[in-house]
Amino acid sequence: MAILITGGAGYIGSHTVKYFIEQNEEIIIVDNLQSGYVESILNSQLYNIDIRDKESLDKVFKKHNIEAVIHFAANSLVGESMDKPYEYYHNNVYGMICLLDIMKENSVDKIVFSSTAATYGEPKNIPILEDDETNPTNTYGETKLAMEKMMKWFDLAYGIKYVSLRYFNASGAHEDSDIGEAHNPETHLIPLILQVPLGKRDKIFMFGDDYSTKDGTCVRDYIHVMDLSSAHYLALKYLRKNNNSDIFNLGNGSGYSVKEVIETARKVTGHSIPAEVKPRRSGDPATLIASSRKAAQILGWKPKYSSLEKIMTDAWNWHNNNPEGYKSTEKI
Closest to ligand UFG by CB, 183 or 237:
183
Regarding 92 and contact with ligand UFG (CB under 6 A), the answer is: no
Contacts of 3 (CB under 8 A, 6+ apart): 20, 25, 26, 27, 28, 66, 67, 68, 69, 70, 236
Q: Which of 168, 248, 256, 318 binds ligand UFG (CB under 6 A)?
A: 168
140 a catalytic residue: yes
Closest to ligand UFG by CB, 237 or 281:
281
Regarding 189 and contact with ligand UFG (CB under 6 A), the answer is: yes
| CA–CA distance, 327 with 110 (Å, rounded to integer) | 34
Alpha helices in the chain (DSSP H): 11-22, 54-63, 78-83, 85-88, 95-105, 139-158, 189-194, 225-241, 258-269, 293-294, 308-321
Evaluate whether 27 touches 44 at the Cβ level (below 8 Å).
yes
Regarding 288 and contact with ligand UFG (CB under 6 A), the answer is: yes
Q: Which of 6, 116, 143, 264 binds ligand UFG (CB under 6 A)?
A: 116
Q: Which of 30, 100, 118, 311 binds ligand UFG (CB under 6 A)?
A: 118
- β-pair partners for 6: 30, 71
Regarding 205 and contact with ligand UFG (CB under 6 A), the answer is: yes
| Minimum CB–partner distance for residue 220 and ligand UFG (Å) | 5
Burial of 195 (0-12, 13-18, 19+ CB in 10 A): middle
Region of 91 please: left (phi>0), alpha (psi -120 to 50) or beta: alpha
**Catalytic residue (choose from 140, 162, 233, 256):** 140
Closest to ligand UFG by CB, 199 or 331:
199
Report the residue closest to ligand UFG, judged by CB: 218
Q: Which of 64, 183, 188, 294 binds ligand UFG (CB under 6 A)?
A: 188
Instruction: Give me the active site residues, please.
Output: 140
Question: Which residues contribute to the site for ligand UFG (CB under 6 A)?
Answer: 76, 78, 116-118, 168-169, 187-189, 192, 204-207, 218, 220, 258, 281, 284, 288
